[in-house]
Chains A and B, each alone.
Chain A
Amino acid sequence: MDIVSALMDGLWIAVQPHNLALAVIGVIVGLFVGALPGLGSVNGVAILLPFTFVINEATSDPAAPMIFLAAIYYGAMYGGAISSITLGIPGASTAVATTFDGRPMALKGEADRALVTAAVASFIGGTVATLFFTGFAPMLSSVALDFGNPEIFALMLLAFATFIGLGGDDIPKTMFSIFFGLLLATIGFDTISGEPRLVFMNEREQTALLETFGGNTDAVPFFDSVSWFSRGIQFLVLAIGVYGIGEMLWTINASRYKVTMTETKISFSRIMRGIVGMKDCWKGTTIGSLLGFFVGILPAAGATPGSLMSYGVSKMTSRNPRSYGEGNPDGVAAPEAANNSASTGAMLPMMTLGIPGSPTTAVLLAGMVIWGLEPGPRLFEDRPEFVWPLIGSFYVSNLVAVIVNLAFIPLFLAVLRMPFTILAPVIFVLSIVGTYAAYDNMYDVWLMVLFGFGAYFLRVLDYPLAPAVLAVVLGATAEEKMRQSLLLSDGNFAIFWNPFFDRDGKGQEWWIAPVTTWIAVILIALPIILWGVRRMRGGAAAEARG
């Protein structure tokens, strides 16, 4: 069966009334789940997983429950941008990069344009990724297999290299921020050694403390909270703390003597103008769609690094990098195209290898197993009646999502019409509820508040915080992959940069990791070299003048 006719059959099933209805409901649910900070697509999909049984029974269509969940997943990816833009809090980790320029655009009164850009870029990203998925799924799954530990680490290094420039001009403060983030990422149980790190109290001290109080756990305040840190610093705890509390306090302080009301105008013609304006964002959208998809198909990476890297690359290749962070629409288009593209990409290793590339696809994978499907290399051959309608539904869901999203924009903009004196407390409440909803844990809520105040002071002292947030996202994976690689090479770093390094005693050559590493090293070194060159030239010019 060739791809085109298989896809046509799949599309036909995906537009059957019941599947189309499921896609519409799923997208709307996802949109709101994604827009509420902390709820995110993982929770949305996990909560509604049992509901799919009802769907399975009612429709007796094997693809129907999956179409529903995939629609929620898509909807949430669109929705994440909404709170990033209107409230300045990322709805999920995938939408962090969207706040960088989306929020400034909203503050400038261009919220409608930011939302339209996000929606259209998401649509393009999702559709481009689906086209790749349709055409090359089996081939691309073998690419994913070629990415072992050293390769993933090299990719992480590349991601770090792309956001060196994110912090602005103050290099020492940016470095501080990155290293602080990396430090936070090491807290908790270490996968490689299995030992707790930086949990502030080890077992021996804990036992000793307990003995002083005669073994009465109630006598020690917060005794149970000793296990707080063993869970590690959850990403959203930091992100919501920094953006929901820290930024908000800063904004309150900055607007102390004047009540700020963000200007919001909305009309059909403004939305149309926003869509037409997308042609200015072609570069960010293209980078996001391609890079996002590629990062998405690698298990262990997922949509968050994809969107961050796309933002970084888009900024680096821009003619006007300084406009990023000040409300450049390209800075919204790149991460939004990327996170949708990456989330489609992440479906690929899940379906063809049985390996989820992101937490949400992990839940989807569990769902597929429950419905009696066996994700893995044989899924495409064994269950075409499931695979093709699902791929068909990716196209349909994307189209539904962009229409629904554009239709809801006036509603989301109404949020911005609230006076700031009302909006700020609402954001605080959402931050607290969102953190609790994400992890079911009061400790994380306290930690989030603590991070919020910390972030406020760092903000006042002009430390860039985005690099710290990014380092927390990527730090844990980067560290794990680096150490797994070093175990493989007996501590020899040559495994990352030398293609002739003998990994398995068979004398094979490995090119992917070294090439990636060298690109990353050059990217990191480039600003320093350019700075040196400029200085030398400047010096020469000064001499010539003198």
Chain B
Amino acid sequence: MKLLKTLTLGAAALGMAVTATAASAFEPSKPIDFVIMAGKGGGADKMARLMQAIVEKNELAGKPLVPTNKSGGSGAEALQYMKGATDPDHTIMVTLNSFYTTPLRQPGLKVDNMAFAPVARMAEDTFVLWVHKDEGINTFDEFLAEVKKRGDKWVMGGTGKNSEDNIITDHLNEAYGLSIKYIPYKGGGAVAKDLAGKQIQSSVNNPSEALGFYESGDVVPIVAFTNDRLPMFPDTPTLKEEGGDFSYFMQRSVVGAPGMSAEAAAYYTELFREVYKSDEWQEYKSKKSLMGDFVSQLDLADYWEGQIENHRTILKASGAIK
């Protein structure tokens, strides 16, 4: 009996000690589950593995990040998985805009974005309109004229239905009275390849996806869907310069599972701040024409709220949601 009592007391004391250290500063006590909301080999996957590599190379975290791809259902699988995480303090995820669009399109998932811990926004990816050089199109006006002439024989390839690429194509059709045909693909790489092979007529690839064929001279940038010209394409105007009123970005963020403690969230924010500051990340960011500063915690939550409303409007306008 006495032994039992001692043990119980001991356990209680131990428990208190553990809570006390957790309250003062969080340190991961086991490998961190690093969920990737996309398939292996895609843009998000490449980026996630770069982050993992930076963490490991510079020994930034006490425990390793273990990447797992959960690509099912435009991120639905990953969101469900995060919701049901058994140890939220050791579960983080790399995410993109499907973080908002998938819950908006599938209310049945019952995913509340704001319940996720806003760890860090590492960058905003940009979108550029590309055509094949053989089309002989160099300006946005020429593009509009040619697309109008070709009617629905003009094809835009993009990643996924109701995705970022689809949203931009819908905008072009609506704002300029075009009838571009949108064909969804599984990944941005396949889109870039089919544009280079003249199987499709245009794309709105991220610079990172189209870069190879841009450098080889196969594809030509027409406009950037950004607020300012991209440093990598100084001669390519933005849509705003061409008189449009539209810009679109994709977040490249890290979030914590719903139910993550504030201490753990703060720990991961600091971890990814270090990643963001690393030379490797900065180099990748400038080489791939990524924009956006480091945003975390409350500022990131505010950013999400704005983005959710923004996407609700866009998806309603295109008829994807009611």
CB distance from A107 to the nearest CB of B (A): 36
B312 within 8 A of A: no
Whether A224 touches B108, Cβ cut-off 8 Å, given contacts A145-B197, A146-B197, A484-B185, is no
Whether A232 touches B72, Cβ cut-off 8 Å, given contacts A149-B199, A191-B185, is yes
Whether A191 touches B76, Cβ cut-off 8 Å, given contacts A349-B193, A353-B212, A370-B46, is no
**In the bound complex, do residue A227 and residue B199 qualify as a contact, i.e. CB atoms below 8 Å apart?**
no
B residues less than 8 Å from A49 (CB atoms): 49, 53
**In the bound complex, do residue A376 and residue B193 qualify as a contact, i.e. CB atoms below 8 Å apart?**
no
B171 within 8 A of A: no
B184 within 8 A of A: yes
CB distance from B213 to the nearest CB of A (A): 6
**In the bound complex, do residue A363 and residue B50 qualify as a contact, i.e. CB atoms below 8 Å apart?**
no
A369 within 8 A of B: yes
Using an 8 Å CB-CB cutoff, how does the interface string of A348-381 with B read, 1 for contact, 0 for none? 0100011110010111011101101011111100
B63 within 8 A of A: no
B27 within 8 A of A: no
**In the bound complex, do residue B184 and residue A230 qualify as a contact, i.e. CB atoms below 8 Å apart?**
no
B residues less than 8 Å from A161 (CB atoms): none
Whether A300 touches B108, Cβ cut-off 8 Å, given contacts A46-B40, A366-B40, A366-B45, is no
A503 to B41 CA separation, bound complex (whole angstroms): 30
CB distance from B191 to the nearest CB of A (A): 10
**In the bound complex, do residue B181 and residue A356 qualify as a contact, i.e. CB atoms below 8 Å apart?**
no
Whether A148 touches B150, Cβ cut-off 8 Å, given contacts A189-B73, A231-B72, A376-B216, is no
A379 to B216 CA separation, bound complex (whole angstroms): 10
Identify the stretch in B8-16, B153-161, B250-258 within 8 Å (CB) of chain A at 4 or more residues: B153-161
B194 within 8 A of A: yes
A42 within 8 A of B: yes
Whether A362 touches B40, Cβ cut-off 8 Å, given contacts A231-B73, A354-B212, is yes
A207 to B161 CA separation, bound complex (whole angstroms): 23
Count residues of A near B (Cβ-Cβ below 8 Å). Answer: 63
B84 within 8 A of A: yes
**In the bound complex, do residue B108 and residue A206 qualify as a contact, i.e. CB atoms below 8 Å apart?**
yes
A202 to B57 CA separation, bound complex (whole angstroms): 44
A256 within 8 A of B: no
B106 within 8 A of A: yes
**In the bound complex, do residue A42 and residue B190 qualify as a contact, i.e. CB atoms below 8 Å apart?**
no
A residues less than 8 Å from B211 (CB atoms): 374, 376
CB distance from A276 to the nearest CB of B (A): 41
A384 to B193 CA separation, bound complex (whole angstroms): 22
B residues less than 8 Å from A359 (CB atoms): 40-41
What residue in chain A is nearest B67 (Cβ atoms)?
A: A46
**In the bound complex, do residue A227 and residue B215 qualify as a contact, i.e. CB atoms below 8 Å apart?**
no
CB distance from A195 to the nearest CB of B (A): 8
Whether A42 touches B72, Cβ cut-off 8 Å, given contacts A194-B161, A377-B215, A505-B153, is no
B206 within 8 A of A: no
Q: Which chain B residues in 40-55 approach chain A with CB under 8 Å?
A: 40-42, 45-46, 49-50, 52-53
**In the bound complex, do residue A231 and residue B77 qualify as a contact, i.e. CB atoms below 8 Å apart?**
yes
A residues less than 8 Å from B212 (CB atoms): 353-354, 374-379
A183 within 8 A of B: no
Q: Which chain B residues in 48-98 approach chain A with CB under 8 Å?
A: 49-50, 52-53, 56-57, 67-68, 72-74, 76-77, 80, 84
B107 within 8 A of A: yes
Interface size class of B (residues with CB under 8 A): 35 or more
From B77, B185, B283, A230 is in contact (CB under 8 Å) with: B77
A residues less than 8 Å from B31 (CB atoms): none
A residues less than 8 Å from B53 (CB atoms): 49-50, 53, 370
A219 to B104 CA separation, bound complex (whole angstroms): 25
A385 within 8 A of B: no
B142 within 8 A of A: no
Whether A480 touches B186, Cβ cut-off 8 Å, given contacts A189-B72, A194-B160, A366-B46, is yes
A429 to B161 CA separation, bound complex (whole angstroms): 40
A158 to B216 CA separation, bound complex (whole angstroms): 33
B residues less than 8 Å from A224 (CB atoms): 80, 84
A353 to B185 CA separation, bound complex (whole angstroms): 17
A198 within 8 A of B: no
Whether A230 touches B107, Cβ cut-off 8 Å, given contacts A53-B57, A146-B197, is no
What residue in chain B is nearest A503 (Cβ atoms)?
A: B153
Using an 8 Å CB-CB cutoff, how does the interface string of B187-215 with A read, 1 for contact, 0 for none? 00110111011111100000000011101
Interchain Cβ contacts under 8 Å between A and B, 27 examples: A46-B67, A53-B57, A57-B57, A144-B193, A145-B196, A149-B194, A191-B184, A192-B184, A202-B108, A203-B108, A224-B84, A227-B76, A299-B189, A353-B193, A353-B196, A366-B41, A366-B49, A367-B49, A370-B46, A370-B53, A375-B212, A377-B213, A377-B215, A379-B212, A502-B153, A505-B150, A505-B151
Q: Which 5 pairs show the lowest CB-CB distances between chains A and B?
A: A376-B212, A362-B41, A203-B108, A148-B199, A194-B161
